[in-house]
Amino acid sequence: MSRPFIEYKSALNCQAKSGFVEFRKAMNSTTNFVTFNDALEKSATTADDWLLSIADRWQEAIAEAVQGALGWLQAQAAAVVAAMSQGPTASAQALPDLPQNDIAQALSEPFAEAGNQQTQKIKSTTDKVINFDFSLRNKNVSTFFESQTMSLIQQISDDQRQSIHNIISEGEKVGSSTEKMARQIRDQIGLTETQGKWVENYRDELINGDPGALDRELRDRRSDSKVQRNIDGKQLTTAEIDKLVAGYKSRMIAMRATAISRTESLRSAQYGAFASINAMLAEPSMAGMTVEKSWLATSDGKTREAHRECNGKKVIGLETPFSNGLIIPHDDDPNIPADEVINCRCTATFRIIADKNND
């Protein structure tokens, strides 16, 4: 188990002390914020490079953790199917939450690394003594970490339950057999509702000998000749179809885990850097100060137009959205379309300024 996660778990088992250690030990009360502000600006000049590097370094580990958790969730299908006779709501609630330990441990790595680097970057750019340590043991820091981890787990779990509810309620409306709904649930769990329909369509193509089965990118190409014979009239057995569908779904889950890890690895690093700045602002010595954020878009052809147009735009306050309606790290506002945040690699730079609202 990693050191950051051990620290986090330990913190949950004891009374966390509120606040951080003194932010600028040995600084007298007449010290202004120019030195700190310059240090913060200098530390952010290559934010896109260092945060993306951290995210890339931990992406594979996060993907493995998410894939394992989704696989575990898939194994809970029997409990859901067993509750079908009680209706769609009971069936959906029979699915337990996604297990959090492995995911939390994986996410703690980029979070802690980014938080520590943000802190060290500030320290290295000033000759002043900054007695500040970033740690997951700290209550303020762990709150940010929990918000990211739990929101991800809760979102996946809630979306999965909604998909189960939809399968049963829609199936009851059209008179689907219990067997068909059970099969749809088994094909669905671990995937988004759209991905579950792709699996269901693949199964139908195999059952009906549809040539479209050979157009699926995630199919097992080693079975193409067998599928072609099925199309030509030599039907596959139920067991053969189940095996092909199971393999297709397994690769779909791996693809989903990779997509999640691309978003969450960077978001975790962003949250770590964000938590570092937030903790500094929470220090009594920083009273009357706030933060100015600047959007930093990744400069390549993959960047969304709305994100590229926001490059260099500034807002005041950690929680203030930019002109495109987004916050970096991306918040969990359900009104924001997923296609605006999935695989987003934009970051933000920070500058400490006087809070005019406190004048």
Give the C-alpha separation, 102 to 88, whole Å.
Answer: 30
Residue 123: the pLDDT is 65
* Mean pLDDT score, 355-359: 70
Q: What is the mean pLDDT of residues 305-328?
A: 82
Distance CA 331, CA 351 (A): 20
- At 73 the pLDDT is 92
Backbone angles phi, psi at 90, to 5 degrees: -65, -40
When the pLDDT of each residue in the chain is averaged and rounded to a whole number, the result is 80
| Average of per-residue pLDDT across 255-268 | 91
Is the model more confident about 47 or about 337? 337
- Do the beta carbons of residue 234 and residue 73 sit within 8 Å? no
> What pLDDT score does 24 carry?
27
Cis check: omega of the bond before 334, within 30 degrees of 0: no
Give the whole-angstrom CA distance, residue 216 versus residue 208.
15
Please tell me the predicted confidence (pLDDT) of residue 354. 75
More confident residue, 136 or 165: 165
Sort residue 209 into left (φ over 0), alpha (ψ -120 to 50) or beta. Answer: left
Judged on CB neighbours under 10 Å (0-12, 13-18, 19+), 321 is: middle
Task: For the chain, give the percent of residues with pLDDT over 70.
Answer: 79
Distance CA 254, CA 261 (A): 10
Q: How confident is the model over 279-308, as pLDDT tens digits?
A: 777 777 667 778 788 888 877 777 888 788
The predicted structure's pLDDT at residue 159:
92
* Sign of the C-alpha dihedral computed for residues 189, 192, 198 and 201 taken in this order: positive
pLDDT bin (cut points 50, 70, 90) of residue 22 is: very low
- DSSP secondary structure of 175-186: T--HHHHHHHHH
pLDDT value for 305: 81
Judged by average pLDDT, the poorest of 190-194, 242-246, 253-257, 294-298 is: 294-298
Q: Which of 74-78, 88-92, 330-334 is predicted with the least confidence, judged by mean pLDDT?
A: 330-334
Model pLDDT for residues 169-206, shown as the tens digit of each residue = 999 999 999 999 999 999 999 999 999 999 999 999 99
Give the model's pLDDT for residue 160: 93
pLDDT for residue 321 is more than 50: yes
Q: How confident is the model at residue 214 (pLDDT cuts 50, 70, 90)?
A: very high
pLDDT value of residue 302: 77
Residue 313 has pLDDT above 60, yes or no: yes
- Report whether pLDDT(236) > 90: yes
Q: Exposed, middle or buried: residue 272 (CB in 10 Å: 0-12, 13-18, 19+)?
A: buried
* The pLDDT of residue 95: 93
Identify the band that residue 25 occupies on the pLDDT scale cut at 50, 70 and 90.
very low
pLDDT, mean of residues 209-223: 96
Say if residue 161's pLDDT is above 80. Answer: yes
To which residue do tokens 């193509």 refer? Answer: 205
Residues ≥6 apart with Cβ < 8 Å to 38: 125, 126
- Tens-digit pLDDT profile for residues 82-113: 999 999 999 999 999 888 889 999 999 999 99
Residue among 335, 329, 332 nearest 155 (CA): 332
pLDDT of residue 48: 52
pLDDT at residue 31 in the model: 37
